[in-house]
Amino acid sequence: MAADDTRQSVAIVSPAADEARLPRHVAIIMDGNGRWAQGRGLPRIEGHRQGVASVRRITEHCVRRGIGQLTLYCLSSENWRRPAAELTFLMCLLEQYMIEERSLLMRQRVRLSMIGRREGLPAETLEALDRTVELSAANDGMRLCLAINYGSRAEIVDAARSIARDAAAGRLRPEDIDEESFASRLDTAGMPDPDLLIRTAGEMRISNFLLWQISYAELWVTPVAWPEFEERHLDEAIDAFAARDRRFGGLSPS
C-alpha cells in the first residue's frame, strides 16, 4: 500500500471527451468491496484493502484528466451497523492511507479535505487525517474530499438547525434565507456541486450521499465493483458525461 516515490505523472493520451466538457467535480459511491471479496472466497476486509488501490489509481487519473475535485464516499453514517471487526479494520486502513499516501498527494499538489461528523471516529484516525489535511492545505491542484461518517440527511438537518439558531437570535431574517445561504451551512460550503456522480457495483440508489448537492448531477452506474474499477471505466463515465445535453430544467440551445 505504500506510495511509490518513483512514480511519475502520465500525460493524457487523446482522451475522447472534449476537455472543455470535462466534469469539474466527480463524486463516487465506492460500492462492492465486500461482495467482490466474498465472490472470490476472501474475507470482506480484503475487498476494502483492494479498494484502497482503486482510490490511488482513480485519484491519480483524475489529476491527469484535469478534474477539479474528486469526492469519495468512504463511510456512511449508516455503515456503523456493520460488524465491529470490519469497522475497526476500515479505520486502521484509513489511518494507514493518510500516512502512506502523503508524499503522493503532495507531489501531485492534491488538497485533501473531509466532510462528515468527526464524533465516533478513532482519535488516531482523526490525527492522521488532520495532519494530511494540514500539510496539503496550500496545494493548488485537485481537491480530494473524503466523505467519512457522512450522511446527507444529517448534514441538511445540521444546516437547518444552524439557520434556525441565527434566525431565533435575530442574526438572520427568514426572508433572507435562500439556496445560497443554505448551501453555505453545508459541509461542502465553498465546493462546487458535483457534475458527475458515479456508482460502482450496479446498485441504483443514492444511499444518502450529497442529496442537496447532486440536484443536477449526471448519474453513471457501472456493474464493475470498486476494487476492479480502473482508469478506463472513469474515462467511459467522463465520455458519457461529455456527450449528454445538460439543460438544468431549460431547453437545449438547438
Task: Tell me the catalytic residues.
Answer: 31, 79
Q: Which three cell numbers stand for residue 188?
A: 461542502
Closest CA to 59 of 104, 12, 114, 7: 104
Q: How far is the C-alpha of 77 from the C-alpha of 24, rounded, in Å? A: 26
Q: How far is the C-alpha of 189 from the C-alpha of 195, rounded, in Å? A: 16
Q: How far is the C-alpha of 132 from the C-alpha of 114, rounded, in Å? A: 11
CB 198 within 8 A of CB 28: yes
Q: How far is the C-alpha of 168 from the C-alpha of 164, rounded, in Å? A: 6
Q: Which three cell numbers stand for residue 115?
A: 466532510
End-to-end CA distance of the chain: 49
C-alpha pair distances (Å), 40 with each of 43, 90, 121, 170, 176: 9, 20, 30, 59, 55
Q: For residue 171, what are the contacts with CB-CB under 8 A and spacing of at least 6?
A: none
Q: Which three cell numbers stand for residue 241?
A: 458525461
Q: Count CA atoms closer than 13 A to 21's CA, side-chain side.
A: 16
Neighbours of 78 (CB within 10 A): 11
